[in-house]
Amino acid sequence: MNVTFNPYIKTTSFSSAKKNTAVSEPNRYESEITNLLAQFSTDKKAKVPPIMLMKGINPNNNNVFDTFTKIDDVTRKINFVRSQEAWNDCLLEEIEEFNVARSEYELDKTQQNYDHMEEEMGDIFYTAASIAKDSGIDPLEAFKATNRKFYNRINLMERMCVSPDSRTPDKLEDCKDYQRRALWNAAKRKLYDAQSIRYLA
């Protein structure tokens, strides 16, 4: 006879004059967990109260990178760290799952489908941040660097549009797609060259 172990059921034995009988009664933790999980069907920000590892961590904190660092430290503590190759595969998997969720939302724009799409995008962010951390990169500083890059590049594109020798419209938003791509590549090259000079100085 195959017996399935349920960690939320405890077995109490008692003896009688005829035989010993095993009586299963619901473990009090089973009802606690059931009540706890019920929150997630009504509260989008519901969270499991911490026992030990997650004490002092608020997953709803707006300082997402600070929270990520704390949670990621816990995952490393329980040996959940992946190899670089595995993280890369995981990122591709998360992107695919997001694409599926986005397709589902485009077909049926329900709140449930939106929440699913949002969650999958969060998985992409988390996985990318973990890859950064494994590479010795501060995710927050990396995001800041990208923000500066886009800020400078678009600013330079706009200046190129209004230059006297430009053959594009004066406003960047009035440019055709091929003009925007040409300006993007030109600005990218100029900024890259300027950065290279800085490192060589």
Q: Residue 117 is part of a domain; what is its CATH number?
A: 1.10.287
Which residues partner with 102 through β-bridges? none
Q: What pLDDT score does 81 carry? A: 65
Q: What pLDDT score does 10 carry? A: 40
Per-10-residue mean pLDDT, the chain, length 201? 38 42 58 76 74 86 89 82 78 96 96 94 93 90 91 89 83 88 89 76 53
In this structure, the answer to whether residues 87 and 152 fall within a common structural domain is no
Residue 33 maps to a domain: no
Q: Looking at the chain, which runs of residues are DSSP E strands?
A: 9-15, 20-26
Boundary residue ending a domain (115, 139, 163): 139
Q: What pLDDT score does 200 carry? A: 67
CA distance 21 to 14: 6
Q: What pLDDT score does 21 carry? A: 43
Q: What pLDDT score does 39 carry? A: 74
In this structure, the answer to whether residues 78 and 127 fall within a common structural domain is yes
In this structure, the answer to whether residues 74 and 113 fall within a common structural domain is yes
Cα distance between the two ends of the chain: 77
Residue 25 maps to a domain: no
Separation in Å, CA 105 to CA 2, 45, 113, 118: 43, 20, 5, 10
Q: Which residue has the tokens 């950064």?
A: 132
Q: What are phi and psi of 67, to 5 degrees?
A: -65, -40
Domain that holds residue 194: 141-200
The total number of structural domains that make up the chain? 2
Cβ neighbours of residue 73 under 8 Å, at least 6 residues apart?
A: none
Q: What pLDDT score does 50 carry? A: 78
Residue 45 maps to a domain: no
Helix (H) or strand (E) holding 188: helix 177-200
In this structure, the answer to whether residues 125 and 155 fall within a common structural domain is no
Q: Which residue has the tokens 């990621």?
A: 72
In this structure, the answer to whether residues 156 and 115 fall within a common structural domain is no
What one-letter code names the amino acid at 87? W
